[in-house]
Structure 1
């Protein structure tokens, strides 16, 4: 029976949609339920489907999957309250590290991660009649994966299993198609009006990047909260992207006496008691003081915060991003989507008319993305790939997903799984991989837990993995071992949650290894070692490609090739080697910023990253030395461990290194005599004017064909000095068109020198756009036409020089110059050079290299 004081709470708007929902499930076995916030889709629908509100109807078991632990606990608590029971009776919940379920439990609320674990153990979900996937619009990877697995179960094992995809704002048509053209059932909520107040900062703020948010924006948000308290009635719910921003805004708001309101913080790391108090409403016992609830996106959906009439939205959210090139996965701050903004605003109108203050402009609002990015398209897919492999579909090609996993991300994920021994070369899960999947943590951490337990014992390995899984608060610092010690002696909410997770992991790893064939992975072995050594080993096992060696000044090089930097006050700066556990790389930064790491030694680095160790001959062109360097090198990925010179390197490797040097340094490494330079210019002229068969001798072309024309000489070279002795001109002659016979016409088409009427042989300059013949004017007397090259196609540009060798005139048409230009030159120079001939008609005068005879 429902207690009489609760019956009014069951009169929720979603009731009007229940007949259509029941009919859809009876006829199709699946449905999409679209219901606005506050309509009862999370609490009333499961109770109805389970038959708990119908004294005469059958009782069916219902599993409700929520994306977050806080939402799962709150939903179960609310449903139990409606029934007048304690949680764990007919309504219970299971989240990681906590389970409150009894023999009478009919409705169980779980996180999507727990549901995935259950599906892997029991694909049939024996005894379960209906599964509700709540808050599908958030597009969490676990929820998408669970939906795909459940559809497989319906198709192959349990066609009678009923499935509901429920959300307030979602792509209903897409989900309906995914569920086999399932009906879409809509519940029209009794929504209270919400006034929108646009409250952008007065001055521009820097856009978010990485985990950083401009402090000026947080100061502005705090100001908008104070404004909302002055202008509106009721409690204020303020949305911020993360725990750090919540703490900073709380600091800016000041204490309750100054603010006139109690400030509460709601996020995934908040203690359960604080979460319960916020969701219960009412502020301090016996107090009428207003409340300001600072929350992350956990308060967007599933949770009703009583008393809220005002929402202040900073307009930011945190989404996972994976940098596959550097092996870095982290949360990043982004602009919230329009769907998220609508969800947040709806919190102000849950119980009465309300107001939302949006900390951005109306024009910016129109540019927001419609929905948040699907996690499968942007996140690290290693855990998803292991789930898919254990499900029997390593490529995820047969899974019904709204968005397919990106091929590159899946390839990177499979590489990680193969390196940890979780899958075979074909992508199939190994027995070790199945054990890793059952541990309920990321595969990297599962590997560290299994292998670390063998080295340092199950308890200590589990404690460090719990730190890496839960992520210690910022005030614990960036030293993993120090954070471990802080958690052990700490009495804060994080320490309590960490201890519970460590116990769970210790139990899980003991269970996973106790039956290992041959006892090769005993979870109780090797419990020695200092905190620093244990923390470093476990972190290195989890992230072997992030093992890093110092480069000086707090800078490190990870074996993946990515640079890393530590903060100024970090104890880790003095370490020779570190295992980087958590790092992010801001868009504009050259190196990753380490936020959590541990000191290790070289032996630990070699052990953890053994798959990246290589040893061999290395013959390369050194940019630093600008020469060939031949060594035998030991490397751990990109980190050089040891090297010794090679006395007799492989000639082919030397040749390749010299070629690389030429391409890097250019043709200036060769010896270019004046004759070689002249030949190259002549060939360049002919290629430009006549094309083939004359070769392209530009820098780019010669470097591209260097083995064709320099091959023989290059084969004898061993170092840069040998290159500098090579005669480039002799080598260039190989490029002449000998086969066609045109090579014999080189002197005819592009002569090195031209004989002028005086008998002098004057060198032609091919260095410009047009060949230049610079000759003293008197030596050309009698020459009526300009010499032409390239088979008569191109006239030379004649630079007529004075007797002193200075330019007097330039022409490409001698006939016109003798006729029109010569008089002016004669008038100017005759008085200056009286001993030189200046005839009236130079076209018929005798050329000379000498002055007039003395009189």
Structure 2
């Protein structure tokens, strides 16, 4: 037996015997690797890299450090796996190859279970366990190397662990960092792990013998997904294809992939029924149906069952002397696990992954089509140990339309936990493989502020407590508050139920609690004890409430247990009411009330809607505390919840309770209502008398919605003044006021509060003096020149005072904006000229005869704006439009005279208009 105190513990020749990855040992010995190197190891699936690389790195570190500083050197090698099952299996496999018992030289630590000793050299952990250690001990004391496996899966925890370990390696010269995967862009990762493309990390790669793989297409007649998820018909097809695969292949075990645990159980049940009835024809499976064993493999499969499925078998016995197996699995078997004896894969073509809906502030697991990369990984399970066959439950054209790669979780997941971990770590976010998406990051920060986990630019005491609890940030906050309101034991049991990976029957968490108690589920018992210990620890440290925080669980609860009006609830065992309270404390934004005229549709405090499954015993419950919501297309499905009463809803959602007074202005009347709300849920609604401010806001809102002209019905005098001011604003800018309706509508309560008050009291808007209010915006002393700069009338040669028609300021603003766009495409001088020409000048519509002898058009605004002349016939019909009268008389007048003198013979049409007297009336009138 190897001596764990001997630095050279591992017999690499024995461990790597028959494994292609053993070639990596020779590669590392020839590479110019430092004693604590940075390495990227690339090896195809089934080559044994997870078995070979950890002891290889352990021996490399021991070799280079032997004889220096002795026992003080860090010695442990940490190896991450994305899933608990893979960590346990890899540790067991390596321990058996070293001839030691699991937990001695080689051990593992996963959530709720650990097999290690002080002498353990290699420890397999889930990535989440490593993150917790990094946050608790940022230096990773006693660790000589970290090996991140299956990096290609781009799980969020793996991306975070990479960034933290990459930064730690810069701070600790005695820390090796290795990343490895079956399918990754090795050179890109080598640059990330090293110091860029010019100084990459050491790159090791190994090829492997590829076995033939036959692809058979097995498309279903029915669509696999509908609005509620995977269809029953498709599950029948998947089961039938699995049985067909057994019948058509005389030897080899079958590995069938379904998207989730529910689908795994359904398909396994259907396969068993078909096996018992003799397959498709009744003869294809032979007379002894017991020769086929049907197993399920999911994250909640017991450790004993996992070991039985993953236990190595004698290759010579495949198909001979033992029962054939059908193993129906989720994606846990897609990578990192080798199941001996598998020669056939049945791929549903579906996968389940996290999705964040930022609009509805909701995240959940979504069933979708797999990527080609995922499908290739799955099919590769069949050809790991020999020739294989894969049945793909789709057509070849369906396969061609699949996306090439599965998007990384960083792009699709709720980032709340990740942002908190980075904040606690305090490191360089730029070291992540790709940046955090801006929108989800902002939402995550909002969530953390509401949780009381962060304030301004620092992590609060509560935030550090939440980050230290191995649960979701929501359940962690529920544990802290629940322990204070109930007690640590009951709060811990509630959180253990919420965090359980078992499906709640009919979405009912109370039913799941009863099931977990009856089944004596060991993992549930472990989680319950672990969470109780954590809750007691924080309670004794005084960290559970953090009264200085203003946040709350996703909605502003901020240490709800610290509020003076709340008292500890007495009791000895967890009741459904307690479970509802802790669930609501954990997810206050998911407190929900039944919608009227429905038994299954609920409105959440977040303002979004979700529905219960058809078979749920919770249907009709007035209030729910929801722990999990699934997204099925555009619909949100409640996956787990518990019934609560309104008092519990208001207690747990105290940070969401608020009262709002709203008013509307319709048919000349202001109607106001006071509403009490729990987030987006309306609790009460009472008509009230609107105060002045509320009434003003209602009228202003009506103006913005329906338009000022419809609501206020302004007079012509008002519109004339507004148009004149609009031209001055466009030409001279400040201090002349902005008078577009958009701006005036936004500032109604500032420039016409008295008018709004009169309208609110019932006065007809058309009779309210808005002109005086608008004049109140005029600047002083410039206001005295208003009529001089923008006159209302112009005197023409006949002596008439003709009204000027100014353009609507909204039109001027629109044209000015167009000019500003032009400015970005031209030099400043030409763009400014372009903008000036776009400002419409005022119009002077006057009879042509009244302008005889006039050669220059009038100009306003201190001569900066020429007036546009609309020359009219005696019948006031347009004859010409001009800004150059001299040119009109010289060039166009003769033609106009010829066309109109016969039509209007009573009016003067002199041959020489420049020397003719201007006339208001006819020749006879002499005016």
Instruction: Flag whether TM exceeds 0.5 (same fold).
Output: yes
Q: Does 2:493 match 1:469?
A: no
Q: Rate the CA distance shift 1:235–1:793 in 2: closer, same or farther, 3 A.
A: farther
1:316-715 equivalence runs, <5 A = 316-391=350-425, 393=426, 397-398=428-429, 400-430=431-461, 432-474=462-504, 476-490=505-519, 495-516=521-542, 526-527=570-571, 531-554=575-598, 555-568=601-614, 570-589=616-635, 592-615=636-659, 618-622=660-664, 628-630=670-672, 633-642=675-684, 647=689, 649=691, 651-667=692-708, 670=711, 713-715=755-757
Q: 1:43 aligns with which of 41, 51, 54?
A: 51
Q: Rate the CA distance shift 1:229–1:556 in 2: closer, same or farther, 3 A.
A: closer
**Gapped runs of 5+ residues in structure 1?**
750-789, 800-809, 821-840, 845-855
User: CA-to-partner distance for each residue in 1:433-454, whole Å, 9 max, x for gaps?
Assistant: 3333222111211111121112
Q: Does 2:290 match 1:275?
A: no
Q: Rate the CA distance shift 1:638–1:551 in 2: closer, same or farther, 3 A.
A: same
User: CA-to-partner distance for each residue in 1:286-339, whole Å, 9 max, x for gaps?
Assistant: 964432222111111111111111222222222212223433221112332332
1:768-807 equivalence runs, <5 A = none
Q: Post-superposition shift, 1:172?
A: 1.6
Q: Distance in 2 between matches of 1:150 and 1:528?
A: 44
Q: Post-superposition shift, 1:152?
A: 2.8
Q: 1:246 aligns with which of 260, 264, 277?
A: 264
Q: 2:122 aligns with which of 91, 104, 107?
A: 107
Contact 2:662 2:674 in 1 (8 A): no
Contact 1:80 1:86 in 2 (8 A): yes
Q: 2:156 aligns with which of 136, 141, 151?
A: 141
Q: Distance in 1 between matches of 2:719 and 2:644?
A: 58
Q: Distance in 2 between matches of 1:489 and 1:25?
A: 55
Contact 1:192 1:354 in 2 (8 A): yes
Q: Rate the CA distance shift 1:723–1:352 in 2: closer, same or farther, 3 A.
A: same
User: CA-to-partner distance for each residue in 1:652-683, whole Å, 9 max, x for gaps?
Assistant: 3321221101222345754869xx69998999
Q: Post-superposition shift, 1:248?
A: 3.1
Contact 1:374 1:403 in 2 (8 A): no
Q: Distance in 1 between matches of 2:766 and 2:786?
A: 32
User: CA-to-partner distance for each residue in 1:728-781, whole Å, 9 max, x for gaps?
Assistant: 9999999999976599997999xxxxxxxxxxxxxxxxxxxxxxxxxxxxxxxx
Q: Post-superposition shift, 1:560?
A: 2.2
Q: Rate the CA distance shift 1:560–1:286 in 2: closer, same or farther, 3 A.
A: same
1:257-268 equivalence runs, <5 A = 257-258=278-279, 260=285, 261-268=292-299
Q: Post-superposition shift, 1:251?
A: 4.0
Contact 1:237 1:292 in 2 (8 A): yes
Contact 1:141 1:374 in 2 (8 A): yes
Look up the SS of the partner of 2:142 in the other structure: coil
Q: 1:191 aligns with which of 210, 219, 226?
A: 210
Q: 1:77 aligns with which of 92, 113, 120?
A: 92
Contact 2:309 2:339 in 1 (8 A): yes
Contact 1:61 1:106 in 2 (8 A): yes
Q: Distance in 2 between matches of 1:28 and 1:564?
A: 52
Contact 2:35 2:61 in 1 (8 A): no
Q: Rate the CA distance shift 1:664–1:164 in 2: closer, same or farther, 3 A.
A: same
Q: Does 2:34 match 1:26?
A: yes
Q: Distance in 1 between matches of 2:666 and 2:216?
A: 60
Number of equivalent positions = 791
TM-score w.r.t. length of structure 1:
0.77
Q: Distance in 1 between matches of 2:627 and 2:640?
A: 5
TM-score w.r.t. length of structure 2:
0.71
User: CA-to-partner distance for each residue in 1:474-525, whole Å, 9 max, x for gaps?
Assistant: 4x2223223222322235xxx3322221122112222333343899999998
Look up the SS of the partner of 1:11 in the other structure: coil
**Gapped runs of 5+ residues in structure 2?**
3-9, 195-199, 286-291, 547-560, 796-865, 881-894, 900-904, 909-927
Q: Rate the CA distance shift 1:707–1:537 in 2: closer, same or farther, 3 A.
A: closer
Contact 2:258 2:347 in 1 (8 A): yes
Q: Distance in 2 between matches of 1:531 and 1:187?
A: 56
Q: Rate the CA distance shift 1:744–1:438 in 2: closer, same or farther, 3 A.
A: closer
Q: Distance in 2 between matches of 1:711 and 1:516?
A: 52
1:847 matched residue in structure 2: none
1:57-136 equivalence runs, <5 A = 61-136=76-151
How large is the RMSD of aligned CA atoms in angstroms?
Answer: 5.3
Q: Distance in 2 between matches of 1:797 and 1:356?
A: 89
2:230 matched residue in structure 1: 213
Q: Rate the CA distance shift 1:24–1:71 in 2: closer, same or farther, 3 A.
A: farther
1:156-235 equivalence runs, <5 A = 156=171, 158-180=172-194, 181-201=200-220, 205=223, 212-233=229-250, 234-235=252-253
Q: Distance in 2 between matches of 1:797 and 1:597?
A: 80
Q: Distance in 1 between matches of 2:708 and 2:263?
A: 56
Q: Rate the CA distance shift 1:534–1:372 in 2: closer, same or farther, 3 A.
A: same
**Could you tell which deviates more after superposition, 145-154 or 713-722?**
713-722
Q: Distance in 2 between matches of 1:496 and 1:623?
A: 62
Q: Post-superposition shift, 1:372?
A: 2.3
Q: Rate the CA distance shift 1:568–1:309 in 2: closer, same or farther, 3 A.
A: closer
Q: Rate the CA distance shift 1:418–1:626 in 2: closer, same or farther, 3 A.
A: farther
Q: Rate the CA distance shift 1:793–1:220 in 2: closer, same or farther, 3 A.
A: farther
Q: Distance in 2 between matches of 1:699 and 1:130?
A: 67
Q: Post-superposition shift, 1:119?
A: 2.5
Look up the SS of the partner of 1:561 in the other structure: coil
Q: Rate the CA distance shift 1:110–1:625 in 2: closer, same or farther, 3 A.
A: farther
User: CA-to-partner distance for each residue in 1:220-245, whole Å, 9 max, x for gaps?
Assistant: 43343344334334222222211122
Contact 2:36 2:145 in 1 (8 A): no
Contact 1:671 1:725 in 2 (8 A): no
Contact 1:458 1:524 in 2 (8 A): no
Q: Post-superposition shift, 1:52?
A: 12
User: CA-to-partner distance for each residue in 1:50-83, whole Å, 9 max, x for gaps?
Assistant: 4499999979532211110010111112112223
Contact 1:28 1:182 in 2 (8 A): no
Contact 1:25 1:162 in 2 (8 A): no
Q: Distance in 2 between matches of 1:463 and 1:14?
A: 44
Q: Rate the CA distance shift 1:683–1:323 in 2: closer, same or farther, 3 A.
A: closer
Look up the SS of the partner of 2:507 in the other structure: coil
Q: Distance in 2 between matches of 1:597 and 1:724?
A: 56
Q: Distance in 2 between matches of 1:716 and 1:623?
A: 13
Q: Post-superposition shift, 1:611?
A: 2.4
